[in-house]
Chains A and B, each alone.
Chain A
Amino acid sequence: MSTLSICNLHASIGDKPILRGLTLEIPKGQVHAIMGKNGSGKSTLAKVMAGHPDYTVNSGDVLLDGESILGMEPDQRARLGLFLAFQYPMEIPGVTIANFIRAAVQSRLPQGEELEATDYYAEIYSKMDALSIPRSFTSRSVNEGFSGGEKKRCEILQMAMLQPKYAVLDETDSGLDIDALKIVSSGVNSLRGPEVGMLVITHYQRLLDYIVPDKVHVMAEGQIVLSGEKDLALKLESEGYDWVTAS
């Protein structure tokens, strides 16, 4: 039951099918990686799970700890414990990081319960310190004018603050320099634990040196076409994807 299960999922945008019978199971406590060519449908999978309104699910299901989430609004899924670190995080002009994350944390509290401001700031500051995000970022507008790497770090900050049960990280490593990659990876690793399942989408095996996955999956044309252990990533890096789809 303690799994994020994607069962034979078919989804399309307009009349263009993108996910074509995708099946994947991420148990709590594990980290799975997905690799695959550009356009194979990795981000689509992430967004369909999160409930993006542009996509239509034609068949299949997504179960979070046994409960189907496909009929839920995106915010309901989020509050149930699903987190998505976006490949391209959105800018929200005029809304500060502090207010945004605070509203997100507040949305998880029972009605009538107010977040204590001093506790909140103590927590966000300590997490920002760990991710080497300057504290002054709390008063900057969400993602506005952030460098690529700053955006990604900020996604992980949000994940750390929201403590999801399942997290999907969509190319969180792209755009990061080596130091940032280490910081972000250790940030992610510190959130690993028996109560959290993670799905890490990446193009680079290097990330998997830092965030060591329990399983690696290869995605092509909207399906998982191959699954294996960590060394599969190494093979993909040296040999490319053609041998997978050819076999």
Chain B
Amino acid sequence: MKTDIQSQIEADRSVGDFRYDIDYAYDAGVGLSEATIDYICDVKKDPQWVRAFRKEAYRKFLAMPMPTHWATKDLENIVFENIRYYLSQGQAPKRTWEEVPEDVKRTFERLGIPEQERKFLAGVEAQFDSEAAYSNIKAAVGEQGVIFVGSAEGLKDHPEIFKKWFGKVIPTGDNKFSALNSAAFSGGSFIYVPPGVKVSHPLQAYFRINAQNFGQFERTLIIADEGAEVTYMEGCTAPKFETATLHSAVVELVALKGAKIQYITVQNWSSNVFNLVTKRGLAHEDAEIKWIDCNIGSRLTMKYPGVIMKGRRARGEVVSIALAGDGQHQDTGAKMVHAADETTSNIISKSISLGSGRSTYRGMVHIPKHLKKCKNNTECDALLINAQSRTDTYPAITVRGQGHSVQHEASVSQINAEQIFYMQQRGLSEAAAMSLAVNGFVNDLVQQFPMEYSVELKRLIDLEMEGSVG
């Protein structure tokens, strides 16, 4: 017999765990080959250069080994031949929710996307499997010259900006999964913010996987021109399937002189999703790129957002929260490449492992010899909830030359039984006490998320804790 509370938790935890049957008009079938890529190019009406780009990437993908010499062997459980690489109802996203097909629309309504859009967003793109079903920007923001469209529209309608930066921040062969994405990419956002324009509300993308045995390969490129500012948020969910789902995105950010980009992710994939994502930004002189990254879901996440600080006084920041529950592995971190004088990077990472969950931090900070006055601060704190929880830290900080300032702090702590007893003595149940302590651990980072997301985060943590006790 389940108690009321238990069933309520199950219902809540699985906000994203539902699925409506969909008729797909476009289906590339199972497995990846040159023919699959041709199919994708044909339905998307890709220009010739994109077809060549995909084919080249596909060859690299085949040639590259799985990175299991340093990463988890669990990667070997991905069966590329069993995955479906392209599924959609059509290629053109709708500009109003009324036009979105009913079966897809109700999914996003259930996830609260149209409501959030009305409340606090400057624009939304809602991707359903391979393509955006909806993409729209508030008129006032569009009038400022801001472009917010899907990647396919970006490459067709704005080739002069798109081609200049596409694949330049993250080369195709950066890793096996960036190569895979480059071969099969579909969906994702293209954003251009003109010089001096500060977009006051966030732009949001929501990625929804609906199909079984599916691979989602969205591709996002964001360019903030000189002095521009933009905040982009992404959320994601999928129903839980017995078989593995693959999500492998590539996200490139370009902040030109004095620009600021903030990229916020709340990742809540279901626990059968392999989430293998490459994210990197290029910060020019006096520019600032900040990744705020929160990983709660997925079976395995491998993600190390990075910033290449190419111009003087550029700043890069990664703030990350990972919650590894039973059976999950959150392998996250940051890459900071200092490539100019007086550049500053900051990494703050907090992970929570509970049950058999495992969290790994990998940090790479590179300051070459010829530079002057660079700064890095790295803090990574891990919290273990149960005896069988696990955390590993692999910081690689290479600093050459003089006059740099580098700080590194790491800690591993456990929730102390005396703290829980103290809180219980005040009337809190064990689960409530755990949630409070865990929320306390990440509190300073959660405050950096927009209100709507921090409330959601707190709720997700509460649910995980409820489930982990008793």
A-to-B contact residues, CB < 8 Å: 50-54, 73-75, 78-79, 83-84, 86, 89-95, 99-101, 103-104, 107-108, 141, 158, 162
Contact string against A for B residues 29-48, beta-carbon threshold 8 Å, 1 for contact and 0 otherwise: 00000000000000000000
Contact A95 B432 (CB under 8 A): no
Contact string against A for B residues 173-194, beta-carbon threshold 8 Å, 1 for contact and 0 otherwise: 0000000000000000000000
Contact B443 A95 (CB under 8 A): yes
Measured between beta carbons, the chain A residues less than 8 angstroms from B427 are 75, 78-79, 104, 107-108, 162
Contact A92 B430 (CB under 8 A): no
Closest chain-A Cβ to B447's Cβ sits at a distance in Å of: 10
Measured between beta carbons, the chain B residues less than 8 angstroms from A90 are 416, 418-419, 421-422
Contact B424 A92 (CB under 8 A): no
| B446 and chain A: residue at smallest CB distance | A94
Contact A78 B425 (CB under 8 A): yes
Measured between beta carbons, the chain B residues less than 8 angstroms from A108 are 427
A75-B426, A78-B424 known; 12 other A-B pairs, CB under 8 Å? A50-B421, A51-B425, A52-B421, A75-B427, A86-B422, A90-B419, A90-B422, A93-B441, A94-B443, A100-B426, A104-B426, A104-B427
A107–B430 Cα distance when bound, in Å, is 12
Interface of A is mostly: mixed
Measured between beta carbons, the chain A residues less than 8 angstroms from B422 are 86, 89-90, 92
Measured between beta carbons, the chain B residues less than 8 angstroms from A141 are 440
A141–B418 Cα distance when bound, in Å, is 16
Closest chain-B Cβ to A11's Cβ sits at a distance in Å of: 15
A78–B437 Cα distance when bound, in Å, is 19
We find that the number of chain B residues with CB closer than 8 angstroms to chain A is: 24
A-B contact count (CB 8 A): 79
Does B111 have its Cβ within 8 Å of any Cβ on chain A? no
| B4 and chain A: residue at smallest CB distance | A111
Closest chain-A Cβ to B441's Cβ sits at a distance in Å of: 6
Contact B428 A92 (CB under 8 A): no
A92–B444 Cα distance when bound, in Å, is 14
Measured between beta carbons, the chain B residues less than 8 angstroms from A78 are 424-427
A90–B423 Cα distance when bound, in Å, is 9
Measured between beta carbons, the chain A residues less than 8 angstroms from B437 are 92, 95
| B442 and chain A: residue at smallest CB distance | A94
- Pairs A–B under 8 Å by Cβ, sample size 25: A50-B421, A51-B424, A53-B417, A73-B424, A73-B429, A74-B425, A75-B427, A75-B430, A78-B426, A83-B425, A86-B422, A86-B425, A90-B416, A92-B419, A92-B422, A94-B441, A94-B444, A95-B436, A100-B423, A100-B436, A103-B428, A103-B432, A103-B436, A158-B426, A162-B427
Interface of B is mostly: helix
A144–B214 Cα distance when bound, in Å, is 48
| A78 and chain B: residue at smallest CB distance | B427
A78–B433 Cα distance when bound, in Å, is 13
A73–B442 Cα distance when bound, in Å, is 27
A54–B417 Cα distance when bound, in Å, is 10
Contact B436 A74 (CB under 8 A): no
B-to-A contact residues, CB < 8 Å: 416-419, 421-430, 432-433, 436-437, 439-444
A74–B432 Cα distance when bound, in Å, is 13
A144–B428 Cα distance when bound, in Å, is 19
Measured between beta carbons, the chain A residues less than 8 angstroms from B429 are 73, 75, 107
Closest chain-B Cβ to A32's Cβ sits at a distance in Å of: 20
A64–B416 Cα distance when bound, in Å, is 28
A51–B432 Cα distance when bound, in Å, is 17
Beyond A94-B442, A94-B444, is A107–B425 a contact (Cβ under 8 Å)? no
Measured between beta carbons, the chain B residues less than 8 angstroms from A99 are 436
A90–B417 Cα distance when bound, in Å, is 10
Contact B428 A75 (CB under 8 A): yes
**Which of B418, B423, B426, B432 has the most chain A CB atoms closer than 10 A to its own CB?**
B426
A86–B430 Cα distance when bound, in Å, is 18
Closest chain-B Cβ to A144's Cβ sits at a distance in Å of: 10
A75–B425 Cα distance when bound, in Å, is 5
Closest chain-B Cβ to A51's Cβ sits at a distance in Å of: 8
A107–B426 Cα distance when bound, in Å, is 9
Measured between beta carbons, the chain B residues less than 8 angstroms from A93 are 440-441
Measured between beta carbons, the chain B residues less than 8 angstroms from A104 are 426-428
Contact A73 B428 (CB under 8 A): no
| B433 and chain A: residue at smallest CB distance | A75
Closest chain-B Cβ to A87's Cβ sits at a distance in Å of: 12
| B440 and chain A: residue at smallest CB distance | A94
A89–B418 Cα distance when bound, in Å, is 9
The 4 closest A-B pairs by CB, nearest first: A94-B440, A95-B440, A104-B426, A94-B443
Closest chain-A Cβ to B422's Cβ sits at a distance in Å of: 4
Measured between beta carbons, the chain B residues less than 8 angstroms from A79 are 427
A104–B422 Cα distance when bound, in Å, is 11
Closest chain-B Cβ to A164's Cβ sits at a distance in Å of: 10
Contact A107 B432 (CB under 8 A): yes
A74–B425 Cα distance when bound, in Å, is 6
A107–B423 Cα distance when bound, in Å, is 11
A68–B246 Cα distance when bound, in Å, is 55
- From B416, B418, B430, A73 is in contact (CB under 8 Å) with B430
Measured between beta carbons, the chain A residues less than 8 angstroms from B444 are 94
Contact B425 A84 (CB under 8 A): yes
- From A74, A89, A91, B424 is in contact (CB under 8 Å) with A74
A53–B424 Cα distance when bound, in Å, is 11
Contact B440 A74 (CB under 8 A): no
Beyond A53-B417, A73-B430, A107-B432, is A94–B439 a contact (Cβ under 8 Å)? yes
Measured between beta carbons, the chain A residues less than 8 angstroms from B417 are 53-54
Closest chain-B Cβ to A234's Cβ sits at a distance in Å of: 32
| A83 and chain B: residue at smallest CB distance | B425
| B422 and chain A: residue at smallest CB distance | A90
Measured between beta carbons, the chain B residues less than 8 angstroms from A74 are 421, 424-425
Closest chain-B Cβ to A97's Cβ sits at a distance in Å of: 12
